[in-house]
Structure 1
Amino acid sequence: MTVVSNTVFVTDWARRYFGPWWNAYTVDAENISTAPLVVADVNQPAYADLATLIDACPHQEVIYAKARTLLAQDGAGTFTAISPEEGLAYRSEPEAGCLTIAGLTAEPVALAAARIAREMIRAALLRDGWTLLHASAVVREGKTLLTFGSKGAGKTTTALLLASRGFQLLANDRVFIRPDADGLQVLPWPSAAAIGLGLLDALGLYDVVRDRLKAGEQLHPTQHQDVTDALLAGRREPLWEADGRREKKVQVFPDQFATWFGMALAPGGRAAGLLFPRIDPAASPALVEDDRTLGEQDFMSGATEDRYPDIFGLAQGIDGGGTERARAAVADHLAQLPHHAVALGHDTNANADFLSKLADNI
């Protein structure tokens, strides 16, 4: 993947996601021209030209990245779109592997460029037989522990507790995975990570984040202002959306796990075991009896990617979580690995000790 911009802020932003720790493939220098390309410029005339083009041709209205977007497709398979409220315009040529972004200001262009770069990498990996799991992951000596569960089950908690005990953090919510002759390869999903205020406090990281914010540093801009205000005011209780169903969380850049929390990031690994945690405030950490196995809910799919639907044709018809054949192959391999259901309480140190010993045994 190559990201090009007329504004260094944009390329610096992309580097925060795709730094030296994220290396899905190595491409020979002479073949770099075959890699996907994102051109993302802060360019008002280019934005205006694309906006005029949209106005002049048939288009539909969709929601992309929570923004109203006007989308058109021509007979040659080129997609053109504009998000007026964000001041962003797009032109996607899937066959050429190129997507151009033009915007009015730097930050929206930077956000869009990193998002599109990730989606183009995802599309390339899916075409090459990878799939996406809804799981957190940590790595030690190349061996990867994958943690599964529904929202609130403890995927992020488990990953961060193990990362605090010397494991490398690979992902807190989803991973790329593919079978090969030696087992299952695992790669991270480059994106901001969501951590609840209560979990941040329990892990002993709350004051680190608050001090950094008070010193003028910033978390990811998708973080709700209510969360930023709570951190600056020293409030530690969870915050919820108006419907009470979704927690407003701290949004952490990938590189901040290393620079703020001292956690090492893993570029990849091989699947070695599966954990299925549940949080019980009254429990002491322990293995528990549970017949939980992998299901459809543990694989990402196009239906789960409602925030970033593939409106630009990047995946060229492949579902956002990979092919059925790829998912079946991964499920077969995972079924052969050790499975452990665990109960975790509210004693952070006890949880970390238990998980670390269990992981070492696996």
Structure 2
Amino acid sequence: MQRRGQDSLELEARLRLSYINSKVFREDPSKSRGPGPAGSWITMESTLNAGIAMAEAMQNQLPWLEKVWLWVTFLGDPKNLYLFYFPAAYYASRRVGVAVLWISLITEWLNLVFKWLLFGDRPFWWVHESGYYGQAPAQVHQYPSSCETGPGSPSGHCMITGAALWPIMTAISSQVASRAHSRWVRMMPSLVYCTFLLAVGLSRIFLLAHFPHQVLSGLITGAVLGWLMAPRVPMERELSFYGLTSLALLLGASLIYWTLFTLGLDLSWSINLASKWCERPEWVHMDSRPFASLSRDSGAALGLGIALHSPCYAQVRRAYLGNGQKIACLVLAMGLLGPLSWLGHPPQISLFYIFNFLEYTLWPCAVLALVPWVVLMFSGQEAPPIRSS
């Protein structure tokens, strides 16, 4: 009863504070934090306030799901698309694996540009910066995965993961459809795909990493991009195509960044707010910075081209790998993650970007060419002869 009474008093205080803020703004529109009509400002503030309320309810009413949400947000991390989903998909189906990598790097680049242009707040800093909760603090807390340094809209976990998992979902759906007669069984891959992405979105809200509208926009954009890009993955292109793609990603993002900077927009605003309001400095990671994802994307694009035109890949591309060999490839690839991950963590930020680029350039080479070649050689199986083109 006492707890219920305290909750009622806190809710009443928040409603009163929200009413006062709205009234003050209507009387003095100059107090808006940004341009635009008063109605749209109030609507957006109300939307963000509702997102905080949703996160508060999830954290306080369903605390037993905390470990579930932490695990789900880990599974939906875009970095894991490169490090886990890509090799697993590739050793199951080469075409699907390349599609996962290609869609991941293009979608992550687009997500970076969207975030620069949309200036979305993140809940873990907005709850302090907004001034809504000065008299009645929101009963929410942060986690190690909360303090990402980039802007919040749209959700990268939802957008990038949703797009990159699309070819996996469609490949499994086609396999199931050819063997199952039940409509419900044929729908299972799509249902699992949607359920997983919904869980990822809810986990981001729970962790104060995103507002609900950022999650929704990420889910929709990711599904659309996955549907559009899956049939258009470049499989047999010249090395210069991948090299120019890598260069275009770097130069394109840099051009957008400096154009916005020249116009007077400070794109480091989100890094400053994340550093200011994160509860623990060690939770602010360099690999969540916008240019970390850019170095990852451009490195992966170049690495994909190098791998597809390497001598090792030329020897193994027509070789048949049995299930045991595919599992051995996956285990060996995962074993290489330790040495490769060391490259991406120097203390200096400039060196971090350079080594992060190198790490994700080498990773496709290892997955596509080196690891299958090693497994093929140690299994005693001769690679098919290379045909001159």
TM-score by length of 2: 0.29
Higher helix share: 2
Using structure 1 for the length normalisation, give the TM-score: 0.31
Larger Rg: 2
Q: Determine which structure has the larger strand proportion and give its number.
A: 1
